[in-house]
């Protein structure tokens, strides 16, 4: 390396360049999916800016409304929802959007759009005010209905195995976008000075096992006997309990370090709390592409047939050996 090379070290591969290079990996290499991923990245940059400004202007805290899930909407939830819907509508590749923040399907007016997006625009938003990592989760499907018409429920209620891409953005000490198109998982860190996502975590593989379990033990009195046995097992193994309360943050840590995230069915929430379409399926696709596993405790998450846009689902995700152990313990308790 000569003197001039040292003065100008390469910044690395930007997300745009990476997407263009990998375009031939997509099932439909016509550029639409590439553009759609860039639209999501653009919205993520804007939301990242809004989050970073939230301490300076009045956009943190509750909005005063409740969303379709019955949760208090945070002002940043509303902003993120608007930003992502606007970016996807303007991009032209998406006919229909399902958002955690909206009860029904959102028709973009792009009847020629070939894709459907299910999205949680700002996950973990109750953590906004206390400076804890929050995130965006997204899932992309190719529409089933003929182009030229509005998308319909059949387009949205596809099994997770039909996803063509999925990923998440984590807004934290650094902002990262992690996604898969079914050819491995890659992570990009946002470089503020360049305004670009740069490849920082190529070909992410999650460890086969780990020593972290993530579950809200404050709900233990509502756990089933099987779930109580699961928690007892991990304690006997002297695992570390790590639970942030932001799904994306807990998942991201365990993806990189090894571990398991659990949001089980409880007596208070018999179907669990997390949403199948835009939380569980997206992260299940990512984890499987990274060598991990995702399950409702009895069945592979990606094989569950959705019945509703906001359907909830018990969720166990992470290192494959740990998820398999949970399934074994739950099955043993049921058969005893």
Q: What rounded mean pLDDT belongs to the chain? A: 91
The reply, when asked if residue 123 is annotated as ligand binding, is yes
Q: pLDDT by residue (tens digit) across 44-62?
A: 999 999 888 765 455 555 5
The reply, when asked if residue 100 is annotated as ligand binding, is yes
Q: pLDDT by residue (tens digit) across 148-178?
A: 999 999 999 999 999 999 999 999 889 999 9
The reply, when asked if residue 56 is annotated as ligand binding, is no
The reply, when asked if residue 243 is annotated as ligand binding, is yes
**Res 3 pLDDT > 60:** no
- Of the listed ranges 118-127, 134-143, 279-288, the least confidently predicted one is 118-127
Q: Where are the chain's structural domains?
A: 15-201, 212-335
Higher model confidence: residue 5 or residue 125? 125
Residue 4: pLDDT band (50, 70, 90) is: low
Three-state SS letters, the chain: CCHHHHHCCCCCCEHHHHHHHCHHHCCCCCCHHHHHHHHHHHHHHHHHHHHHHCCCCCCCCEEEEECCCCCEEEHHHHHHHHHHHHHHHHHCCEEEEEECCCCCCEECCCCCCCEEEEEEEEECHHHHHHCCCEEEEEEEEECCCCCCCCCCHHHHCCCHHHEEEEEEEEECCCEEEEEECCCCEEEEEEECCCCEEEEEECCCCCCCCCCEEECCHHHHHHCCHHHHHHHHHHHHCCCEECCCCCHHHHHHHHHHHCCEEEECCCCCCCCCCCEHHHHHHHHHHHHHHCCCEEECCCCEHHHCCCCCCCCECCEEEECHHHHHHHHHHHHHHHHC
**Res 128 pLDDT > 80:** no
The reply, when asked if residue 25 is annotated as ligand binding, is no
The CATH code for residues 15-201 is 3.30.540.10
CATH of 212-335, one of 3.60.15.10, 3.90.1300.10, 3.40.190.80, 3.30.710.10: 3.40.190.80
The reply, when asked if residue 279 is annotated as ligand binding, is yes
């Amino acid at each position: 390396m000569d003197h001039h090379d040292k003065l100008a070290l390469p910044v690395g591969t930007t997300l745009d360049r990476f997407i263009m290079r990998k375009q031939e990996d997509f099932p439909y290499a016509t550029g639409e999916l590439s553009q759609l991923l860039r639209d999501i990245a653009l919205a993520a940059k804007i939301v990242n800016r809004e989050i970073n400004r939230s301490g300076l202007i009045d956009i943190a805290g509750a909005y005063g409304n409740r969303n379709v899930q019955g949760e208090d909407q945070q002002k940043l939830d509303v902003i993120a929802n608007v930003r992502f819907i606007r970016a996807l509508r303007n991009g032209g590749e998406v006919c229909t959007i399902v958002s955690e923040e909206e009860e029904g399907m959102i028709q973009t007016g792009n009847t020629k759009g070939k894709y459907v997006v299910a999205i949680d625009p700002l996950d973990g938003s109750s953590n906004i005010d206390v400076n804890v990592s929050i995130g965006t989760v997204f899932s992309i499907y190719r529409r089933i209905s003929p182009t030229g018409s509005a998308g319909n429920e059949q387009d949205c209620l596809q099994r997770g195995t039909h996803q063509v891409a999925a990923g998440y953005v984590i807004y934290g000490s650094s902002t990262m976008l992690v996604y898969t198109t079914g050819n491995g998982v890659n992570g990009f860190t946002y470089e503020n000075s360049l305004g670009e996502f740069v490849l920082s975590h190529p070909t992410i593989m999650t460890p086969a096992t780990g020593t972290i379990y993530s579950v809200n033990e404050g709900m233990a009195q509502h756990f089933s006997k099987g779930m109580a046995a699961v928690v007892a097992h991990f304690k006997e193994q002297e695992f570390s309990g790590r639970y942030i309360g932001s799904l994306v943050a807990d998942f991201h840590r365990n993806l990189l370090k090894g571990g398991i995230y659990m949001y089980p069915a409880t007596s208070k929430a018999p179907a669990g709390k997390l949403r199948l379409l835009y939380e569980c399926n997206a992260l299940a696709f990512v984890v499987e592409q990274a060598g991990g596993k995702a399950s409702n405790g009895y069945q592979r998450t990606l094989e569950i047939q959705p019945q509703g846009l906001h359907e909830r689902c018990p969720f166990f995700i992470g290192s494959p050996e740990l998820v398999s152990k949970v399934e074994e313990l739950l099955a043993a308790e049921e058969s005893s």
